[in-house]
Structures are given as structure tokens and as C-alpha cells.
Structure 1
Amino acid sequence: MKIAVLFCFFLLIIFQTDFGQNEEIPRKQRRKIYHRRLRKSSTSHKHRSNRQLGTPQTTIFTPVARFPVVNFDYGMEEKFESFSSFPGVESSYNVLPGKKGHCLVKGITMYNKAVWSPEPCTTCLCSDGRVLCDETMCHPQRCPQTVIPEGECCPVCSATEQREPTNLLHKQLPPPQVGMDQIVRKEALQSEEDEAMKEDTEQKTETPESRNQRQLYSEGDSRGGDRKQRPGEERRLAHQQQRQGREEEEEDEEEEGEEDEEEEEDEEDPVRGDTFRMPSRSPLPAPPRGTLRLPSGCSLSYRTISCINALLTQIPPLTAPQITSLELTGNSIASIPDEAFNGLPNLERLDLSKNNITSPGIGPKAFKLLKKLMRLNMDGNNLIQIPSELPSTLEELKINENNLQAIDKESLSDLYQLVTLELEGNNLSEVNVDPLAFKPLKSLAYLRLGKNKFRIIPQGLPASIEELYLENNQIEEITEICFNHTRKINVIVLRYNKIEENRIAPLAWINQENLESIDLSYNKLYHVPSYLPKSLLHLVLLGNQIERIPGYVFGHMEPGLEYLYLSFNKLADDGMDRVSFYGAYHSLRELFLDHNDLKSVPPGIQEMKALHFLRLNNNKIRNILPEEICNAEEDDDSNLEHLHLENNYIKIREIPSYTFSCIRSYSSIVLKPQNIK
């Protein structure tokens, strides 16, 4: 019994000692520990989110709305809205023709794992050629009235409804109170000085009786007894207490400031070679509004003047050297005189699209003084020729949907920095385009010549070309000399032309080492073309009249074809066999065979171990036999995620239960509706 009592007494002493030590931790140190916990928790959750997306920690993401939830254990839990559709996003017909894993978004190539925000409330990710987008989740507000700030997507409480927030982490005073505190502190010090002077005067003039009375008051204080306060002393004590409280608050603020500085020092990592750090730079000031008079319907935003749909009939006279961007879209401008941009010498971007500008209306020196111009957009005008004396600094030139009649060898002279040239929707052909027209374009990578009248591939393409778009022309053949000098070409789009497979020369592109994407949709093909490039990854053949896939047509490709789109053709069961897909069994990721004349599942599907997406809908399939899609013995090796079999003649109830055992989720199998015949 004594031993038990001693043991309990010993535990009680230990508990009191620990409790006392915890109570003796200074407030500043406790706050440091608390903030350090918050920071560690936030960092761990951030890294966890990056790992879930499968991206390295050095990847820069666009911020997504998130809100903290404070737990009782002083931890911080972050709500990160990741790409919810990431595991099973269905593909579409317009999958990027482009480099492996890249995405094509509104004519712009996004690299694999790139993240961007097309709208303030949307975050998108390029993942292996697929664009995945998420809507930003906003924290609900409890105030009666909310507003959405400009450039933001989440609502906040309106200024009239906002109340002073109670912040448990930082104890801050509102800015107006600081000034009042200083005034009150000065008044308190002045009153104390007045009281001190009054006491000195009273001590000099006091009588022996008053001195004895004062001693009695002091003795009463020393004994802890109650005493009456002298006139004015109550106010002085109140000021002292108020000042003491403020000094404590100031100490708290100073401690918090020191903690913030220490946190910043802790968070500043040494510069590493594997991370990208943006240089710190202060924003440049906007041009003074008082010195720039804008026409009606125009607006100024930082260094951009926007006169979109402003009913202008001429380019407004502007003098603003600070302006770098001018938008004149959707007006009725018909001419550009030589002196039109004399007051805007630093323009970098000029948008003149959707006007009535004619070639005779452009002065010969209209663009000559724009020595910094990099982007010029003249889409949707009435030009019959490319403007002369364009600045050599141009990197992007767009003259789509005009009436261009010819391009001679001088039209694009000196544009050696031009990267993108778009001339779609004109009257260009091999007859009126000089073979030497593109020779000066040493940096050209993207050339768009769709919606013209070419019957052959244009000659004289620059060696730097990477992407060539020739859709909606009248091209009938592809000769051996078309791509002799374009060793960097990566994408060729030839949809909506008149190409037949026997009009493609055997050596037209088979030896291309970087050509990864070819789009021959809506041509006159009856067979899948032979002699395709060795490096091909994407082959789009929608809307032809293809009846057969020749054997070994993909056998020479390295590393192997990944995307094959044969929708809307005339493929039947006798048009393909096991050797038709030889060379692509190990690499094919997406196979679209929908809207054809198939009566059964094509042979060899179960051997495509890399296949993620299979479309067999809108055919004439009646039965699905076991092991036509899944091999029960090798289910673990399958990557099939999506299967479409709707709009056939399949009796769903007669399908064996193990037919789709290799597919990870039954919700990604589409079987309804079926046709009845």
C-alpha cells in the first residue's frame, strides 16, 4: 500500500513539473513553434498535391483557390482541388496532332505537364496530349452581400458588409487606431507631467497636517487597506493602465514582426540549379491619364489602348510613347497613312483585324517607324497583297481571311525573325506564290495556308518549318521533293483535300525523323497509306472511304504508332487481320474504329497491352466472344480504361460476366443504347 501511494505521489510530482515547464515557455517561443507547425503542415500538403498530379516539385502551377481548416491540434489542413477528371478523361476526335504529349489549344502548342488558366476560374493541365480542366472551388461566404474583384473568380464580402476579422494567429490593430493611440499617449504623458508638477507644488506648499495626512494614505497603501484617491489621480491611473496595455500590445506586434522576419528567413532557400526563380521587378508605371486623350469607345489599361468595336473610320492620332499594344479590332478603318503610328514608336503588338483596310490604302512607310513591333494581326480585311516594308522585328504575322492574290519573292523580305505566318482564307496557289517567297524566313516554324487553292504542296518551304497546315485546299498528290529540305517538320495537316493513296510518293516522307503527326482526314483514301514516316505517332484518317488496313503497314515505325483514328470509313471484317496492326501492338494507346461496317471485334485487340481507349460504337457488331477484348490470364497487364460499344446490335444480357474483366472500371464501358433489327 505504501509503495502504491509513493508511486502515485511520484507521478503527481512529474506531472506538475512538466506542466510547469510548459507554462514557463515564453509566449514568443510558443508562437514560433505554432507558426513552424503551420508552415510544415502547409508544405507537406503542397508536396502531397504535386505528387498526386505526377509532377516534379519544381513545376510551376497556376494558383488554385484553397482555404485552410484550423484543427484543434494547431495543424493546418489544405483543401487542394486537383484535376478531378484526371484518371479517366475520354478522348475526342480532335486529339492534338503534334509532338508526343503536347496539346494544341487555340493554335498554341502546350508542352506536356504545362498548366495554364484560360479563364480566371479555370485551371487546365496538358497530360500526354489530353487537356484536363478543373473549375476553381471557392470558399462559401456568410456575409449578406458579396462581390467578385476584377481578375478574381471567388466572391468576397462587400466593403460595406466586411467586419473586422478575428484573427487567432495575429493580434493586429486597424491602421486608423494607430494614430489615435499616439494622440492618447501624448495626452497621457502631458497629463502625467502636469500631475508631477502639481505634486511638487503641493509638497512645497503643504502644511504639517497635510503632510501627516499624506503619510497616512501611504501607510494605508502599504498595509493593503482601502484609501480615497486624490482629485485627478483616478484619471492618471487610468492613463497609466491604458499606456501599459498599449505597451504590451506593441511588444506583441514587435514579437510578431520578428517572427515574420524569422519565418521569411527560414523560407528563403539558397538558390539551386534545379529550380527556376523569376527575377523580382517592380511593375512599370502606367502612362499618365491626364496627358492622353482617347477617342470615344476606347479604353486604357496599363500599356494597352483598346478601341474594339468603337465605330472608328480612321486610326486615331495618338501620342503615347509608353504604349506597347494597340487594339483596333472591329472598326471601319479603310486606310493607314504613313504618319498613322508616329506617336506610338514603342508598339510591340498591333491588332487591325476585322476592318475594311485595302492594299492601296496602306502608305508605303506606314509600318516603317515601328522598330519594336513583334505581332501584327490584319485578319478579316480587304488586302490583295502583303504590306510592304514590314519591320524586321516581326515574329508573328496574320493576314487570314483577306483577298491575297500573290506572294512574290520580295513580299516577305527581311522578316528573318518571323516565327508564325498565317495566310488562311485567301486566293493563293502554286501559280501565284513564288517558289522563293519563303526563303527569307529563316526562323519560320508555323505556317498556315489553309482555305486557299493549292493543288500541290508549296515549294521552297524553309528548313526551319515545324508545323504545316494545308487543310481545305485542292491538293491531289504528294511528290518526293515536297519535304526534301524540311528535316524539322513535326506536324502536317492535309484534311479536306483530294489525296489518293496511290498519289503519295513512296519517298515523300518515309525518311523524316521528326514527323510525328499526319492528318489526312476527308480525302479520297481507300486504303491506309503505305510508306508512312518512321517516327509517326498520330495518324488521323477520319471521313475517308478506307476499306482495308494493309498488313505490316505500321511495322517499320519506331518507337511505334500511338494514336490511330479511322472513324467514319468503310472498314469491314475482311478489311483487317492480325498483321494489319503488326508493329503497333506494343505502342497503340487509342484506336477509333467507330462508324464503320464491322460485324465483329477486330482480331488482335486483346494483344494491345498499351491500349487505353477503344471505340467500336456505331458498327454492326452482334456478338462479343470471350477473350476478344480481354485475356483472362493477362488481365493485370491490360491498360484499357474506356470502351464504347453502343449503337450496335449486341444483346447485352448474353454477354458473359468475365468478358470485360481487364477493364478497371465498369462505369467506363458504354453499351447502351443498342439497335434492334
Structure 2
Amino acid sequence: MQTASLLYYFLLVCWCIDFVENQTNGIPRRQRRRMRYRGSRKGSSANHRPNRQPQIKTSTTVAVVPSVPLINIDDGITEVFDSLIGLSGHESSYSVLPGKKGHCTANGMIMYDKAVWSPKPCITCLCSKGKVICDETTCLSLTCHKTEIPEGECCPVCSDIEPNDPSDPMLLQPLRTQAEMDELLRREKEELEGREKEIHKKDDEKRKRKEKKSQEEKKKHDYEAHQKEEEEISRREEEKRRAYEEEELQIEKEEEEKRKGNELPEQERKQQKSEEEEEEEDEHILRGDVFRMPPRFPIPVPPAEIPPLPTGCSISDTTVSCINARLTQIPPITDPELTSLELEGNTITSIPDEAFNGIPNLERLDLSKNNITSPGIGPQAFKILKKLKRLYMDGNALVHIPPELPSALEELKINENHLHAIDEDSLQELKNLVTLELEGNKLSEANVSPLALRPLKSLSYLRLGRNKFRTVPQGLPTSIEELYLENNQIEEISEICFNHTSNINIIVLKHNKLEENRIAPLAWINQENLESIDLSYNKLYHVPSYLPKSLLHLVLIGNQIERIPGYVFGHMKPGLEYLYLSFNKLNNDGIDPVSFYGAYLSLRELFLDHNELKFVPFGITEMKALSFLRLNNNKIRTVPPERICRSVVDDDNVDADSNDDEEEEVEDSHLEHLHLENNFINTRELSPYAFSCIRSYSSVVLKPQKIK
């Protein structure tokens, strides 16, 4: 009996110990096995291979599959559970508060960081940095006839299959390899990323449509508000005018009655005065304020509604913009305060006479890049625009300059059209025109009248490039300052071309067919304001003689120049400052010691690159103001110390006085940039004094050099 009691007591103690351990762990054994199995799957995605394959319990069939893979309790647990937040995991609905150092509080218990527990069946929670993340286990559907839910479990199992039965679904399903589990996780991740990208794309499209719609509504609202404000102002002005007229009538009426009242008896005057006072009081009560219209005046009719702007147009202050709005005609706009209209990039073909009747105060009109033809422009189309100052019609199909242009016009651009004639009356009234651009047409000295440009008394900027001129146009206005004639077929410059253009400052004649012997000696030598000439890409073999005395800027790039004659710059005052001779055929035989005479004290930039020079030309050291020198892409093999900087003798052979003189000479140099790349220079053989006058050695470009 005593032995039996001891045995029962021992069994009771074992049962209590087992019960306490189950409560402490918080997770049934079967569920822990399931977590270890899921942990092995998740660990494979992090390149962590478990020591053994997951075990499958064969005594009973458990069909349990988690909604998302779980992981082992290792160093990667935080990252995996963080990823569950955006997937099937969700935050716990239990009373959980973050603790210190990443601890969590759940149901009155403190959980350490990375602790895992199961508050309810089929729910597994994780403490991650003070935040609780829970995952709910989902169950697979079973095909067996009879199922049951074991005690402490959350998913049903088949009860009609014997242990180790071959028909067990878990046994029939082959074990997944590590590679298969990695592939499944990768596919799930790609599907999630694809869905997220699609959602973001739809959101962006929806946002763009909403922004576009809001912008259109705002423009429309601003336009309507502007119109309403104008209507309100006009209505108030009309009311004030009528009130003033009413007051005048009332005063006249009172004066007339006063005159009549002097003739009536005193009693009748008193009676009439009292009646008038009563009438005025009643009238005041009826009117309410002085601005309300009396019943004897008609109520003003509100102005007609202004048609809305076409789709694609916008209004800002005093500008209406309809750029690339697919318009086929000029929109009907009525706004006397409008000063700028932009119609660039449409398919407008004509301008009727009444096109601008509603906007007579325009100052700027852009009709570029349309299909406007000369027959499509009405004879009175621009006549109403008395204040128009800028007219742009580039890129159309005009063959003549539009008629009846406003005399206030200051800027006219008709580039890239089909103009093939300018009569003497085409620009007759444009006395205020300052800028005229007619590039890219079919103009020549044969179809441009010598009197066509004479009426332009204020013209200072003229562009006639990309036409078919063989000579400089005649009849240039005396006010001209800048003349651009590039990309024509000009072959000569006669003595009378610039006789009446004493104010001209810039002449551009690049990409023509000029030779130095076809430039008349007196063509421009006496010009006092001509400072810049561009003769690039012509047929010059020598630097032209008889250049203007006032010339500062000479561009001769891309010719076939072989020689710079001596003293060719000697007559210039104050002297040439910029000389560009790149891409020619200059060699050392073509440059004399006196080739740069007259420019030694004034020349600031000298470009001799892409020529055939074999050594640095003489005279560089005499150029006191030179700051930029290009000698790259020649055939130079060496740079003696005295060719760019004055010669420097060794300190042992020079006394103190001579050293002082050399230092002063070096200080006088202004050379800041020197290009010598792409020659045949052996940089290791250069003298240390070759570039001593240059302020910074980083400004000397020597690399790369050509191979000998």
C-alpha cells in the first residue's frame, strides 16, 4: 500500500513538471515541429542550409501550410518578419506595448527581442525590436472522408488513414529540394514586385490625368473669373454713369420747380413742398441706395458671353498661348486688353481680314510653323493692329511679304519661307523697324529691288543668310549696324557696297565664294565703326589686305590660307585683338617676322591650330597682351625656351641686374592658356624655362602627342 502511494505521488509530480514546461514554452510540440519545418524553407532563401531535412510525422496526417513561410530563430529573423508586414502578416490586435531594449509586453508577460510564442491556436507571434508581428496559419483542404482536430492543434487531420499508410497525402507529396524552395520564393517575390509596379503605374497615370484635368479647369476658371471681373467693372461704371445722369435730371427738375414756385401763393408752395418731401422719402425707401436704377430707366442688358478658348490654349495675364494646339484657323478671341498671342506650331493656312478685330491692342504675334500662304492673307488682316511691334512668321509658305503691315512694327521675322521677291513698296511703311530676318528663302540681287530697304530708317539688324545672293545687296540703310549674309553665293565685294553704312559694326560673310583678289581695296578700309568681320569657309589663299582700320575681330577659319603678308595689320588702330586662323594651310614659310606687325601690343587671342606649322612662329614673345594661344594639331617637334617666353639664362652666368630684368619681363606676360597637343613634341626634352612666363602650368595642354 505504501509502495503504491509513493508510485502515485511520483506520477503526479512528473505530470505537474510536464504541465509547467508546456506552459512556459507556450507552443505545442507539434506546432514547434511545424515552425522548424517552415524555418528551414525560409532559411534557404537567405543562402542558409539547415543541417538536416525537415522531419514529417507519420503517425497522423496533418495538412497544415502557413500563409507565408516562417523562419528559424536566428540572426535573420528580424528581416524576414519585417517583410511579412507588407505581405500576409499583420500587426497583433492583442494588448502589446514595446518594452525597453526591444522587449515586448503580451498579455502581461515581457517577451525578449526575437522571442516567438503562440497566444492562440494557429497564431504565431514574434517580438522584433519592441514590435509584435503575428502570423496566422492556414489549413489545406483534405480529401479524406473523416477528419478531426486533435487537442491543442488548429488544423483538422484525417482519422481514417492508418499510420504510415501509403495513401497519406503528406507521403505522396515528394520532399522539395533546396533549389525548388528557392525557386518558389523567387517566383513569389517577382509576382509581388510585378503587382506593386503595376499598381504604381496605374497610380501615376491617374495622378497625371488628375493634374492635367485640374490645370485645364484652373485655366478655364481663371479665364471665366477674368471675364466676370471685366463685366462687373463695366456694370459698375454704367450704374455710376446712370446715377450721375439721374442726379443731374433731379437737380434740373428742382430748379425748374423752384422757378415756378416763386409765382405760386405761399400756401400752395408749402403744400407742394410737403408733398415733394413725402415723395422723396417714399422714393428713398423704394430705392434703398443711390446706385439702384430708377424704374423709368431701362435695365442694362448684360454683354454677350465670350466664347471659351479652344482646347490646348491657355491664358496668363495679357498673353494667350495656343502653341501646338492643332488649330486650323485663328481662334475668335475678344479681349481688348490682350497684348500677346502665340499660335506657333499649328496648321493655320489663312488670315482673314476680321481675324484680329477682337484684339486690336496686340503688341506681339507669333504665327511661326504653320501653313500660311500669301493668297490666304487678307489685304486688311494686319491693318487693325496699330500697336503691333513684333511679328514672327517663320516656317510658313509665304512667297511675298504680307501687305499693310503696321507702321509701329519693330521686329519682323519671315525666315524659312519661299520669298522670291521684295518690291520697293513691300516695306514702305515700316519706318520704326529695327530687326528684319529673311533667312532661308529664295532671295537674290535679281529679285530684291535696290530701293526695297531704303524706307527702313531705323533698321540696325539685318539677316539675309541661306539665300542666293552673289553680291552684297544694294541700298542698305544708313542705320544698319549688323549684317549677316552667310551661306550665300557671294563672289565679290565692290567699292560701293558699304558707302552709305557708316554705322556698321559686324559683317558675317562665312560660307560664300570670296577670294582675296575679289575684295575691292576701298570696300571697307575707311570704315570707322566696323569691328568684326567673319570670312570663314571661303576661298582665301592669303589674309586679305586693306582690312578696316577699326577692325578688332577677324575670323578666317576653314579657308586655304598659306601666307600672312607682312604689315597686313600695320594700319589698324587701336589694333587687332582677336585673330582666328584655324583649319588652314599655314606653314612656317608663310609667316614672316613682320606678319603680326601692328598687332603686337593689342592681340589677345591667336588661333593657329590645325595647320602645317613645324615650329612655333616668330613674334609670339613680342605679343604683350596675348592671353590665349592655340598651336595644337600641327607638326611642331620642339619648343625652344625663347619662342613663347623670353630666353632665360642659367643663374650662374647672369648677374643680379640681369635677373631683375628677366623677372620684370616675365611679369609683363599675360599668357594664360596654351594648347600644344597633337603635335610631335617629346615632352621629356622640353626646357624647364619653355613656359616660365605662363602663370599656371595647368593651363599648358601638352597631351596627347602624335607618334613619330
The answer to whether TM tops 0.5 is yes
Q: Tell me if 1:626 matches 2:657.
A: no
Structure 2 counterpart of 1:372, from 387, 390, 396: 387
Aligned to 1:398: 413
- Say yes or no: does 1:495 pair with 2:526: no
8 Å contact kept, 2:610–2:632: yes
1:646 pairs with 2:677: yes
Spell out the pairing of 1:131-210 with structure 2 (5 A cutoff): none
Mapping of 1:233-632 within 5 angstroms?
Answer: 293-631=308-646, 632=648
CA offsets 1:594-616 (integer angstroms, 9 cap, x no match): 00000000100011010010000
Q: Name the structure 2 match of 1:13.
A: none
Q: Distance in 2 between matches of 1:327 and 1:639?
A: 50
- Report deviation, 1:468: 0.3
What is the identity, as a one-letter code, of the residue corresponding to 2:608? Answer: L
Structure having the higher Rg: 2
Tell me the SS of whatever aligns to 2:517: helix
What amino acid maps onto 2:356 in structure 1? F
1:544-592 C-alpha deviation (Å, 9 max, x unpaired): 0000000000000000000000000000010002210000000000000
Aligned letter for 1:441? L
One-letter identity of the residue aligned with 1:374? K
Conserved? CA contact 1:536–1:557, under 8 Å: yes
What is the DSSP-based 3-state SS (H/G/I as helix, E as strand, rest coil) of the residue aligned with 2:483?
strand
Tell me, what secondary structure is at the counterpart of 1:579?
coil
The letter of the residue matching 1:674 is Q
What is the number of residues matched between the two proteins? Answer: 389
Separation of aligned partners in 2, 1:647 and 1:499? 31
For 1:567 and 1:671, the matched residues in 2 are separated by 18
CA contact (8 A) 2:503 2:530 kept: yes
Alpha-carbon distance in 1 for matches of 2:317, 2:667: 57
1:581 aligns to what SS in structure 2? coil
The equivalent of 1:661 in structure 2 is 692
Is the CA contact 2:306–2:334 (under 8 Å) kept in the aligned structure 1?
A: no
Tell me the CA shift for residue 315 of structure 1.
0.4
Shift of 1:657: 1.1
The 2-side partners of 1:292 and 1:420 are apart by 35
Question: Aligned partners of 1:667 and 1:454: how far apart in 2?
Answer: 47
What SS does structure 2 have at the residue aligned with 1:518?
Answer: strand
Deviation at 1:292, TM superposition (A): 6.4
The 5-angstrom pairing of residues 22-171 of structure 1 reads none
Deviations, residues 383-425 of structure 1 (Å, cap 9, x unaligned) = 0000000000000000000000100000000100000000000
Counterpart position of 1:268: none
Residue type of the partner of 1:672? Answer: K
CA–CA distance in structure 1, aligned partners of residues 317 and 605 of structure 2: 46
Deviation at 1:667, TM superposition (A): 0.9
- In structure 2, the gaps of 5 or more residues are 1-302, 649-661
* C-alpha deviation, 1:666, in angstroms: 0.9
Give the letter for the 2:700 counterpart.
I
Cα contact 1:538–1:563 (8 A) shared by 2 = yes
> How far does residue 643 in structure 1 lie from its aligned partner after superposition?
0.3
Deviation at 1:382, TM superposition (A): 0.2
Could you tell me whether the CA contact under 8 Å between 1:649 and 1:676 is conserved in 2? yes
- Decide whether the 8 Å contact of 1:462 with 1:485 is kept in 2: yes
Preserved contact between residue 566 and residue 593 of structure 1 (Cα < 8 Å): yes
Shift, 1:302, TM fit: 1.2
* Paired AA for residue 440 in structure 1: P
* Matching residue of 1:637: 668
Q: CA deviation at 1:478?
A: 0.3
Distance 1:437 1:524 in 2: 30
Name the amino acid aligned to 2:403: S
Give the whole-Å Cα distance in 2 for the aligned partners of 1:668 and 1:304: 49
Structure 1 contact 396–418 (Cα < 8 Å) conserved:
yes
2: CA distance, partners of 1:611 / 1:580: 16
For 2:700 and 2:596, the matched residues in 1 are separated by: 23
What amino acid maps onto 1:405 in structure 2?
H
Rounded to whole Å, the distance in 2 between the matches of 1:346 and 1:470 is 35
Tell me the distance in 2 between the aligned counterparts of 1:553 and 1:580. 7
SS of alignment partner, residue 496 of structure 1:
coil
Q: What secondary structure, in the 3-state scheme, does the structure 1 residue paired with 2:698 have?
A: helix
> Which residue identity is paired with 1:594?
D
Task: Supply the distance in 2 between the matched residues of 1:584 and 1:381 (Cα, whole angstroms).
Answer: 47
The answer to whether the Cα contact below 8 Å between 1:292 and 1:320 also exists between their aligned partners in 2 is: no
Counterpart contact for 2:372–2:396, Cα < 8 Å? yes
- Point out the more displaced range, 566-575 or 657-666: 657-666
Q: Which amino acid aligns with 1:478?
A: I
C-alpha distance in structure 1 between counterparts of 2:462 and 2:473, whole Å: 11
Q: Which amino acid aligns with 2:524?
A: W
Task: Give 1:293 deviation, angstroms.
Answer: 1.8
Q: Give distance in 1, aligned partners of 2:390 and 2:373.
A: 19
1:301 Cα deviation from its structure 2 partner: 1.2
Contact 2:525 2:546 in 1 (8 A): yes
User: Whole-Å Cα distance in 1 between the matches of residues 587 and 689 of structure 2?
Assistant: 26
Off by >4 Å, runs of 4+ in structure 1: none
Q: Which amino acid aligns with 2:686?
A: I
5+ long unaligned stretches in structure 1: 1-287
CA distance in 1, matches of 2:361, 2:540: 51
Aligned to 2:674, what secondary structure does the other structure show? strand
SS in 2 for 1:627: helix
Q: Deviations over 1:451-471 (max 9, x none)?
A: 000000000000000000000
Query: Do the aligned residues in 2 keep the contact of 1:334 with 1:361 (CA within 8 Å)?
Result: yes
CA distance in structure 2 between the partners assigned to 1:419 and 1:639 by the alignment: 40
Matching residue of 2:705: 674
What percentage of aligned pairs have identical amino acids? 79
Deviation at 1:291, TM superposition (A): 5.5
Q: Distance in 2 between matches of 1:390 and 1:433?
A: 19
- The CA distance in 2 between the partners of 1:387 and 1:606, in whole Å, is 58
**CA RMSD in angstroms, aligned pairs only:** 1.1
Q: Distance in 2 between matches of 1:363 and 1:477?
A: 40
Letter in 1 for 2:552: L
Write the deviation string for residues 185-227 of structure 1: whole angstroms up to 9, x where unpaired.
Answer: xxxxxxxxxxxxxxxxxxxxxxxxxxxxxxxxxxxxxxxxxxx
SS at match of 2:358: coil
